[in-house]
Structure 1
């Protein structure tokens, strides 16, 4: 990548990204050199570098004052890699899960207080369901969302539920915060969540969270089908989806700590 021209008059975001790229190419570099090589004023360079240091995107060597890429970028890079691996690896796990369960399987990722459906597989005997890829559903009303919420640290879970709008989608939707937290605690203990006609009429689901290499829940997978078929097999299907989620998490580098 060549040296940008006229960067001093560019937008703040463009200049910040240019500084990050330049530091990455040079490993360690002084702020004065950044200003000179990128055609920035010294005041602009010091302001941008200071902001990036405060946000941990850059860090400075204590002895020389030169800056290098910070730990925040390492974290973001690891998350990007995990997301890439997730979308590449998940389809075969979903296909196997659909075949074993005889139902439809989904992969969803969190976005604010919703889960976004990003992949699906169907068995030969599966009933066609209304949910399409790209659909968003409230976390509190779906097994996918409840599985993801239950995998969060308890305090994070409580804070999310306190600020969440718990709209009812069916007569079975849990719209009371205390009841929902109790449901999530049970989900956390057993390792899988159940949707007992809480999201769509006549549809039952079970789901389990998928974790990245750090143990952070990044997605959830589910088995969905007619409530009469799925809900009478919750223990069996719950164990199956939890096992598949654990296998996918292991593929993404997550190793669960062994209890002594």
Structure 2
């Protein structure tokens, strides 16, 4: 008799393990702790079965029981598994849902980039509008000093490293607004470091504005940056500062926390 895929899967299913994982899946941000009876009711288990599963999970460190309330909550091993899973995720993969939400909320183009010496390289991009005078995609490279993404990443470098890099930088002027003067650039980077975000007003291309914020990991280091950009016809200077900058900072913060970042 030929076995179906469903039959094959059921043959290799360990029922006790499946039930244990079902118990763990009951815990959510909205439901961080559960009583014994709530677990029994949710899964429809016999109390004797539920007790054995809970006792096993508690013994292995996947559940803890509060001595005062007698309610169960995920144990340290669950969080360790979560961090291990996050560490295995590609940064782009982890950040993508956050970027999509930001692009949807603002109706503008959202990008993520990393710093490569004196350039930035785009590693993700959600395009909502045609960018004035620019054709950019994943893998595109731009001078860091000319874009909000690059400025926010340069601002995170240790001072000695930043000065060493700028010492050999050409600081090409892409538009009349590009910061091509080293002293002026350093002054702006200091302000960016203080405020936690960077703005770009037609420095990369005439008619283009953007706001960027750093994405940090658990080491506190900026491992990438995200930005929102679009044409001056839809992004006034006021909207750039009052709407886009706070939104991109908030989204960068959410991605950073997902990477294990905790403000020091």
Q: Give TM class, smaller chain.
A: 0.5 to 0.7
Deviation at 1:82, TM superposition (A): 5.3
Cα distance 1:247–1:233, how it changes in 2: closer, same or farther (>3 A)?
same
Pairwise mapping of residues 111-260 of structure 1 onto structure 2 (< 5 A)? 111-122=116-127, 126-129=128-131, 130-230=135-235, 231-235=237-241, 236-257=243-264
Pairwise mapping of residues 7-18 of structure 1 onto structure 2 (< 5 A)? none
> 2: CA distance between counterparts of 1:166 and 1:117?
19
Q: How many residues align?
A: 175
> 2: CA distance between counterparts of 1:97 and 1:127?
14
> 2: CA distance between counterparts of 1:82 and 1:246?
17
The alignment's C-alpha RMSD in Å is: 1.9
> 2: CA distance between counterparts of 1:153 and 1:248?
22
Cα distance 1:146–1:82, how it changes in 2: closer, same or farther (>3 A)?
farther
Cα distance 1:173–1:82, how it changes in 2: closer, same or farther (>3 A)?
farther
Pairwise mapping of residues 58-77 of structure 1 onto structure 2 (< 5 A)? none
- Structure 2 unaligned runs (5+)? 1-82
> 2: CA distance between counterparts of 1:83 and 1:210?
17
> 1: CA distance between counterparts of 2:249 and 2:156?
12
- Structure 1 unaligned runs (5+)? 1-77
> 1: CA distance between counterparts of 2:175 and 2:88?
32
Judge conservation of contact 2:124–2:137 (CA < 8 Å) in 1: no
> 2: CA distance between counterparts of 1:205 and 1:84?
28
